[in-house]
Amino acid sequence: MEEHKVVQVNYWKEIRKELNKTFENLHGLVLLTHNSIEFSDLVDFLKNIRRNQETTVLYISLINSYNHIEQTLQTCPLPSKKLFVVDCVSGFILEKQDKVYCVYRKPPQNLEEMKNLIMKNIQWSNPNIIVVDSISQFINFTTPTDEELHNLCAFLQSMKEDTLGIARDAIILVYDDRMGSMKKLPTMFTDVIMKLEVIKEKPEWKD
């Protein structure tokens, strides 16, 4: 029988009763893992952050087009948040004209290009919160290589040093954990790791 050894221990805490306090104090580098959420679920997450404060969010999107984002916000508005979008989906397919709250760019091929993309668009949007959706394209926490982990740690450290400050106080990196158990998490370079689970079932009355 093949012997198994422990490679990672992750502790998760259900925070429903502490939700307001947790979101109010959400600062620094945040890794948000999820089980395949829709953009509307991410909007609900962002609503809770500094709910009563006017904040500006820079959303770097590698998976949702600006057209889809606009449609979602019509039914799921984001009050007290000004949202600026870098659309790396439509920008990859078509040449599109930049808008007031959206710019179209080609998707970054690595984390260094991602950092450059963020830095350039900080000047345009002047955000309090930066959201990168997602980093799953650059690393798989189930079977990460040493090079991937090294590149990620270097990216996280440089983001902390170069972007976080008094006005810009939260960077949220979204990660889809459907690829398997997360064996190597960057606990040393992140301030908070959160897991968002959305459980969907067919209502019994629809049977």
pLDDT at 4 over 80: no
Split at pLDDT 50, 70, 90, the class of 92 is: low
pLDDT tens digit sequence for 104-145: 999 999 999 999 999 999 999 999 999 999 999 999 888 888
Please tell me the predicted confidence (pLDDT) of residue 31.
Answer: 94
CA distances from 4 to 7, 71, 124, 185 (A): 9, 48, 50, 20
Check whether the bond before 61 is cis (ω within 30° of 0).
Answer: no
Question: What are the tens digits of pLDDT across the range 179-189?
Answer: 777 778 888 88
What would the pLDDT profile of 30-55 be if each residue is shown by its tens digit?
999 988 778 999 999 999 898 888 99
- Delineate the domains of the chain, giving CATH numbers in brackets: 35-188 (3.40.50)
3-state secondary structure of 58: strand
User: Tokens standing for 48?
Assistant: 């809770």
Share of the chain above pLDDT 70, in %: 86
pTM check: above 0.85: yes
